[in-house]
Amino acid sequence: MSKKEAPLSALQQYLPADTYEPVMHYLHQYKVHLTVARERKSILGDYRHRHGGHTHRISVNGNLNQFAFLITLLHELAHLLTFEKFGNKVSAHGKEWKQIFGGLLAQFIEHNVFPADIETVLLQSLHNPAASSCADEALLRTLKTYDEKKNGASLFVESLPEGALFQTHDGRVFQKGEKLRKRFRCVEVKTKRVYLFSPVYEVEVL
């Protein structure tokens, strides 16, 4: 199973100090079914709107640090609030969602729940937030500094020297090449296929 059920009281351990009550206010108000998921490489969180007899459903990866967890949860709550206001009439990450997500972030920034470096990065993108934390390189770099230190040599692609070999989470091995505009050209060793990697894609060094 990729998700685990837990009493909502357990949510407090995943959140920064003084954010549990305001988060719970939204979850109770909109009757959200929240699950904490095991690590998913492709997404940090997920939202499914209410339909039929089902309530709103949100899942957030439980391996995220507390600040990344909160931002991801607010991202998904913004989808919920957008649906409540506009239904399916607007795009998933359009101007309506951006405005609502920015408003949620501002609400928590005003209460000083984020460290200064995270707050600075959030303020820079408050009026035009990225569709994913993974798409906001500055935010991802800053959030990663609050991760627990893990065993192994896990680094961003941008920090590797050109020509270095690295392994992705699925076991494939690549050789880092030159930077093309915003991404790095890397070659899969086994197939010789070329892939473009984000500078802040996390890999294992070989």
Mean local confidence (pLDDT), 74-81? 96
Q: Are 183 and 199 a contacting pair, CB within 8 Å?
A: yes
Chain center to CA of 70? 9
Report the residue count for the chain: 206
CA contacts within 13 A on the Cβ side of 144: 15
- Joined together, the tokens standing for residue 16 give 């920064």
Question: 0.85 cut: is pTM over it?
Answer: no
Q: Could you give the strand order of the β-sheet that contains 45-48, starting from the edge strand earlier in sequence?
A: 3-4, 33-37, 57-61, 45-48
Tell me what pLDDT residue 142 has.
92
| Interhelix angle 116-124/137-144, nearest 10 degrees | 170
Does the structure show a pLDDT above 80 at 61?
Answer: yes
Higher pLDDT, 203 or 6: 203
Return mean pLDDT, the chain: 89
Q: Are 198 and 137 a contacting pair, CB within 8 Å?
A: yes
The alpha carbons of the chain give a radius of gyration, in whole angstroms, of 18
pLDDT above 70 coverage of the chain, percent:
92
Can you say whether the dihedral through the CA atoms of 139, 57, 105, 71 is positive or negative?
negative
Chain center to CA of 135? 9
> Per residue in 31-69, is it b (16+ CB within 10 Å) or e — as a string?
ebebbbbeeeeeebbbbbebeeeeebbbbbbbbbeebbb
Tell me what pLDDT residue 2 has.
46
Does the structure show a pLDDT above 70 at 94?
Answer: yes
Shortest CA distance to 49 belongs to which of 88, 4, 7? 88
Tell me what pLDDT residue 8 has.
62
Q: Are 174 and 122 a contacting pair, CB within 8 Å?
A: no
Chain center to CA of 184? 21
